[in-house]
Structure 1
Amino acid sequence: MSLEEAKRQIDHAFTREDLKGPSFENVFAGAPSFLRRKYTKDLRGVDIAVTGLPFDQAVTNRPGTRLGPRAIREASLLQTMDKPYGWDFDVMSAFAIADYGDMAFDYAMPSEVPARIEAHIEGILDQGAACIALGGDHSVTLGALRAHAKRYGPLSVIQFDAHTDTWADDDAARVDHGTFLYTAAKEGIVVPERSVQIGIRTDNPDTLGFNIIDAREVQAIGSEAVAQKARDIVGAHPCYLTFDIDCLDPAYAPGTGTPVWGGMTSHQAAVALRALAGIDLKGGDVVEVSPPFDTAGITAVAGAHVATELLSLWGYTRL
């Protein structure tokens, strides 16, 4: 298909046949798949799939992240015509990327959701594709970690967040976005001493052995040093990266359920993510984007850029 033919077509989310390359559809029109990738459940020939996990019934404060995947997809349309800035390759052209759509679930049965997420992500990995997920509140990461740990063994975690999410919770029936990492550690599917939490600025005395680079240290040493410290901790261990958008200061991400002042700027986060290139990233997610609390959509824009950086981080070591 020529460039001119591509520009005349609409709804690339359904009509495009080539899973690689940019999209030149009007940003303000057409079906908003992530980066205008093709919507498909058939992942034959797909390198990496993006999927939505629109669940937000585990929040401690403001809901709304069930609308996050839709908003992130729409915001991603601004990035479809050019390669991600600053990388020496274009992940959209180098790899076949598909939008797997959202996970279906019964909203009235929240206790079933973690297992459904695990099965949903497993369904992607079993087809031979890697997975980047769009949340949803941070509880969705537990099911994703379980699915990835089944395939790769216990994982290192790089977590960008205002909160550690390691509050104690031994009730298996509860689903809570503040306890998912506690559960993951107790299950042995993550390795705390080979994991790092970046941007933390809320108190939780029991760190469970996770390495913490809090928000003050980020400000003191800078993003490049933060990334190097994280790389040294993780080493060559298989890694999952989860980015809670509340890691960013509310000035840069007001649309989230539990905002905390004093966070990273979007520039600091962008530099840190880029400087992580070379980690053995197996999968990742961006969570806690809550569109109802951000009428300008800047939080979703940040989330879309984070997700694209995760695609690039995954692709960097696979060129």
Structure 2
Amino acid sequence: MRMTDSPHHRPLDARVMPRFAGIRTFMRAPHTTDLSDVDAAVYGIPFDTATSYRTGPRFGPEAIRSASALLRPYNPALGVNVVEALSIVDYGDVPVSPGDVERTYGQVEEALAALVGRGVFPLALGGDHSVTLAELRVLASRHGPLALVQLDAHGDTWDEYFGQRFFHGTTFKRAVEEGLIEPRASVQAGLRGSLYGAEDLDSARALGFAVLSCDQLRTLG
């Protein structure tokens, strides 16, 4: 990713066009699939048929885009105006196949490869947890095994669920098996809630992940 001297793509200015107006894109950035002069691209993965209980993440990209209309460009903690530093676009949603996890993986990988191959920083809006595997495949193919920081209630390191190896609860075990992430350089943080058994945590540790519960995070501050 490069930082441009004068960003080519910029969100609408809420002082000129009010936030409730205009087409809903992420942060009201321009929607384009032309990656010329683009530093960062936001894209949606509206897929949730690898969930086991509640569907709805397929509508996540739409909801996040709508809520992001309230984002302002300046981060006071970091002292950075994001839209002055980066040329940001909304790349739209990538194709998915409802009900077919592995075909959707292929579609996500093909779409994301176009961004990564151009050196564009990708920001995904999901989508259930299963889609992360497709993203890791593309990023690892360019950068090698990745260090993962996972903020989640569960570790998603089961071997299978309902007889399926590609599911929202198996994502990070598959990622380790495929050599996409380096677990000893990775952390799963914020784990909480009831589990099927202690093995739900033990399996993540056995793979090499550092595991921090939500209570441990509170203690660390």
TM-score (structure 2 length as normaliser): 0.86
Say which of 149, 152, 156 aligns to 1:161. 152
Q: Secondary structure at the match of 1:133?
A: strand
Say which of 41, 61, 64 aligns to 2:53. 61
The match for 2:142 is 151
* 1:123 pairs with 2:143: no
Residue type of the alignment partner of 1:206:
S
* 1:209 pairs with 2:208: yes
Say which of 184, 187, 192 aligns to 1:193. 184
Q: Distance in 2 between matches of 1:105 and 1:68?
A: 14
Q: Distance in 2 between matches of 1:21 and 1:34?
A: 9
Q: Distance in 2 between matches of 1:85 and 1:135?
A: 27
Query: Contact 2:10/2:89 (CA < 8 Å) preserved in 1?
Result: no
Query: Contact 1:138/1:178 (CA < 8 Å) preserved in 2?
Result: yes
Query: Contact 2:50/2:168 (CA < 8 Å) preserved in 1?
Result: yes
Note the 1:79-90 alignment, pairs <5 A.
79-80=71-72, 82-90=73-81
How many matched pairs? 205
Q: Which runs of 5+ in 2 are unaligned?
A: 1-6
Query: Contact 1:105/1:113 (CA < 8 Å) preserved in 2?
Result: yes
Q: Distance in 1 between matches of 2:119 and 2:80?
A: 23
Residue type of the alignment partner of 2:31:
Y
Q: Distance in 1 between matches of 2:111 and 2:137?
A: 11
* 1:112 pairs with 2:103: yes
Q: Distance in 1 between matches of 2:138 and 2:188?
A: 21
The match for 2:3 is none
Q: What do the CA deviations read for 1:43-101 (whole angstroms, capped 9, x no partner)?
A: 11101111000100011210000000000001000014x41342211112101011100
Q: Distance in 2 between matches of 1:171 and 1:72?
A: 30
Q: Distance in 1 between matches of 2:55 and 2:11?
A: 36
**Structure 1 position 109, deviation (Å):** 3.2
Note the 1:1-319 alignment, pairs <5 A.
18-20=8-10, 23-24=13-14, 25-80=17-72, 82-169=73-160, 174-201=165-192, 202=195, 203=198, 204=200, 205-207=202-204, 208-222=207-221
Over 3 Å counting, the alpha-carbon distance change for 1:77 and 1:221 in structure 2 is same
Q: Which runs of 5+ in 1 are unaligned?
A: 1-16, 223-319
Q: Distance in 1 between matches of 2:90 and 2:11?
A: 14
Q: Distance in 1 between matches of 2:213 and 2:89?
A: 35
Query: Contact 1:19/1:96 (CA < 8 Å) preserved in 2?
Result: yes
Over 3 Å counting, the alpha-carbon distance change for 1:185 and 1:95 in structure 2 is same
Q: Distance in 1 between matches of 2:164 and 2:25?
A: 34
Query: Contact 2:43/2:92 (CA < 8 Å) preserved in 1?
Result: yes
Query: Contact 1:139/1:175 (CA < 8 Å) preserved in 2?
Result: yes
Q: Distance in 1 between matches of 2:85 and 2:102?
A: 39
Over 3 Å counting, the alpha-carbon distance change for 1:23 and 1:146 in structure 2 is same
**Structure 1 position 130, deviation (Å):** 1.2
- C-alpha RMSD over aligned residues: 2.0
